[in-house]
Structure 1
Amino acid sequence: MKRTLAALSVATCLASPVLAQSSVTIYGVLDAPVEYVNRVARGAPTIVNNQLVSQPGGKRFAMSGAGLSSPRWGLRGQEDLGSGLSAVFVLEGGFGVDSGVSTSSRLFGRQAYVGLKSPYGRLTFGRQYTSIFEGLSNFTPTRYAVLYEPIAWQLGVNYRSDNTVKYLGTFGALTAAAHYTFGAGTGVLGSTALAGGGSGESPGNSRDNSGYGGSLTYLGGKFGATLVYDEWRPAITAGQSGTVRKFGGAVSYEIGPVKTSAGYRWNRSSFANGNTFVRDDYWWAGFSYHVTPPLSLSLAYYYADVKEARLNATAPAVEPANPWQVTFIADYDLSKRTDVYLTTAYARNAGLNFDSSPISFATGYFPTAGQKGMYGVAVGVRHKF
């Protein structure tokens, strides 16, 4: 009887399919800073007779919804399909630790993609970061810190795009990225709403709100370098798309506990009628220094040379004062997953993070009437899981 049961057990095992190895990981970041800003308006300026009209405001002392990182949670999964091929997915949503409220109407507004991974790279489909984001991520002095780095000015407000097919491959010290979006899902260009909320994929108007780009990055030992390109075609009126083009490069070098980085980004954004929305040259430089294993200091400088700008497609061209900003961060690791920090910045000729019309006042540092400079300082605690 025992031999019969053993034989049946062996037969059952042989008949059963081999289950692929798979894993799903829950991850996230909680970041809660308390911030002081010396002068900020209560809301974004409005356009009246092709002029920006600022709202009143004053000092702000409050808990902010994001600090060095944007609070988020997500699911990351992988299934081994055999022969070096894997299925992968990421679902990631953002929220504010100060209130627990989602930062958008989307459940997974930060990332939502599925794809395949092999030794030759990863091909993914869905809402994800563009190639310019990937290419410059190791060359920004404060690593895309929400407080305070001009991320939207540097990368464009479309740096996270819907309906995107993306390739990412790493081969030794070289990483290549390329993407195409059928409709970025970014809803505005400056202060003007885009057709269909920027979703694109409109029958007969496949160019509307689409875009593409690429990056090539070298990270070998102490030295790093990258080249990036990004193009987006926002359409205010269906069938009439403008063009936003960016290209740039950056380098980095590490000397013991010190890492330095510097970069340049060229931009020309045009309306469908050919008028320039913004033409600027953007520069940055900075360094980080690990004073001790748990304590790091970072200092960064950002500068934009704005050649020409318009508030809308028919407004007269102007040459506004060039914005610049200095940012400092002191970060102390209490453990591998928890740190405390102090960060401060001063911006001139724009709100902090270069908050202004070209980036649709996306960061919430609205300047008041006649304001030339803005100062902010924050202390916070961050935990990663």
Structure 2
Amino acid sequence: MNRRTTRIHSIAILSALTALSGAASAQSSLNVFGVMDAAVRRTNTDGVGHVLSMASGSYTSSRYGFRGKEDLGNGLSASFWLESFLSTDTGLASPEGFQRRSTLSLSHAQWGELRMGRDFTPTHQNWSRFDPFNYVGIGSVQLFSLSAAGNTPVTAAFGSNSNSIQRSSNGVQYILPRNSWGVEGSFTKAFGESKVSANDQHDSIGGRLGINLGPVFVSAASYTTHDDKTISDFKDRAVAASWDAGVVKLSAGLRRFEYKDAKQNNYLIAAIVPFGAHEVKFSFNRAKMGGTAGTTSIDGDSADQLALGYVYHLSKRTVAYATAATMRDKGNARFVVPGSPAGKAGAKSQGFEFGVNHEF
């Protein structure tokens, strides 16, 4: 199916869902939602040059979607969630349909939720909530999870293909119900459906578990993806904690990637300082590699990222923001801040951006 046909099908689906929204019964709900985000960005890589651009999704990802729920009685409900990418800077929507999320659920107030389809992985759900930059933009901790950053466990396992670090398709999740103990968690199994991984169709299994202890939140997650071609497993583990002291919220965490002999530890230290309608955000992220990725030694390869951000809440649904970040590679690491041109191994990159984010 070509992109034009996919777009036509997507438009037809959206039109049908919008028409149905007016006919929803008292026991049902159907909502259209989304985010429009645009930022002006300037980045630079030492020895290469700078890039001035407009970015979409630097505070939270630009997107649109539909979600609905039906009350089935006796505490049971059915729901769906369809969510797609959107580029504010170009006006283009994702030609692949609802790649951000496509799930169908049965939920019970006492027994929890059974969710099927394409959704975030347990480790991403665990790790991203501690990133003060919402896992997007030039200050995001996401940079150390990308497949195009030189020799890392991620590139060794997945190459330039889609990976299971952020989302998985063909998944079945069980999500714990809300409870008075402050415990939350989920278990996920994703089916590969073939011997060749494509379009995030990976054979994976894992879960997450967290506990709220008043101002303190602690959680851990694990997700393992099996590679049928090499009979090897890509292991993704994460543990993190936060403390909300009111005047400041502090977070720290560790995420570890392993594939064969390649290892990567990702460290996060972050803080958010709210005051009135303002927020100041800070994060320090470090990626440290070891072992061998393919036939290449990655011992001594590492990268440090420092980010500082400011947010002004214009309303409940609209914010203005600014972020500055710098990335310094060591050894043969090749990480760069988003939008910056690729440089030599061990290079330094930096950038800043300012923009507006509006939810609807």
Which TM-score band (shorter chain)? 0.7 to 0.9
Question: CA separation of 1:171/1:106 partners in 2, compared to 1, >3 Å: closer, same or farther?
Answer: same
Q: Distance in 2 between matches of 1:322 and 1:383?
A: 36
Q: Which residue of 2 aligns with 1:299?
A: 282
Alignment of 1:1-385 (within 5 A): 21-39=27-45, 57-102=48-93, 104-119=94-109, 120-151=111-142, 153=144, 157-158=163-164, 159-169=166-176, 170-172=178-180, 173-183=182-192, 195-197=196-198, 200=201, 209-235=202-228, 237=229, 240-270=230-260, 276=261, 278-291=262-275, 293-310=276-293, 313=294, 315-349=295-329, 356=335, 365-370=340-345, 372-385=347-360
Alignment check: 8 A CA contact 2:49 2:341 kept: no
Q: 1:151-206 deviations in whole A, cap 9, x for unaligned?
A: 26359742211111112223231111110110299xxxxxxxx9352565xxxxxx
Question: CA separation of 1:269/1:245 partners in 2, compared to 1, >3 Å: closer, same or farther?
Answer: same
Alignment check: 8 A CA contact 2:281 2:310 kept: yes
**What code does the residue aligned with 2:185 have?**
A
**What code does the residue aligned with 2:186 have?**
A
Q: Which residue of 2 aligns with 1:15?
A: none
Alignment check: 8 A CA contact 1:136 1:250 kept: yes
Q: Distance in 2 between matches of 1:264 and 1:79?
A: 39
Alignment check: 8 A CA contact 1:342 1:380 kept: yes
Q: Which residue of 1 aligns with 2:5?
A: none
Alignment check: 8 A CA contact 2:50 2:341 kept: no
Alignment check: 8 A CA contact 1:135 1:227 kept: yes
Alignment check: 8 A CA contact 2:43 2:339 kept: no
**What code does the residue aligned with 1:298 have?**
K
Q: Distance in 1 between matches of 2:267 and 2:122?
A: 19
Unpaired runs of 5+ in structure 2? 1-24, 147-153, 155-162
Q: Distance in 1 between matches of 2:143 and 2:302?
A: 16
Unpaired runs of 5+ in structure 1? 1-18, 41-55, 186-193, 201-208, 271-275
Task: Report the RMSD for the aligned CA atoms in angstroms.
Answer: 2.6
Alignment check: 8 A CA contact 2:85 2:100 kept: yes
How many residues are treated as equivalent by the alignment? Answer: 315
SS where residue 148 of structure 1 aligns? coil
**What code does the residue aligned with 1:89 have?**
F
**What code does the residue aligned with 2:210 have?**
T
Deviation at 1:219, TM superposition (A): 1.9
TM superposition score normalised by structure 1: 0.75
Alignment check: 8 A CA contact 2:326 2:337 kept: no
SS where residue 56 of structure 2 aligns? coil
Q: Distance in 2 between matches of 1:146 and 1:167?
A: 31
Deviation at 1:283, TM superposition (A): 1.1
Deviation at 1:95, TM superposition (A): 1.4
Deviation at 1:251, TM superposition (A): 1.0
Please tell me whether Structure 1 or Structure 2 has the larger radius of gyration of its CA atoms.
1
Query: Sequence identity, in percent?
Result: 26
Alignment check: 8 A CA contact 2:175 2:185 kept: yes
SS where residue 233 of structure 1 aligns? strand
Alignment check: 8 A CA contact 1:112 1:126 kept: yes
Q: Which residue of 1 aligns with 2:150?
A: none
Q: Distance in 1 between matches of 2:279 and 2:40?
A: 20
**What code does the residue aligned with 1:219 have?**
N
Q: Which residue of 2 aligns with 1:273?
A: none
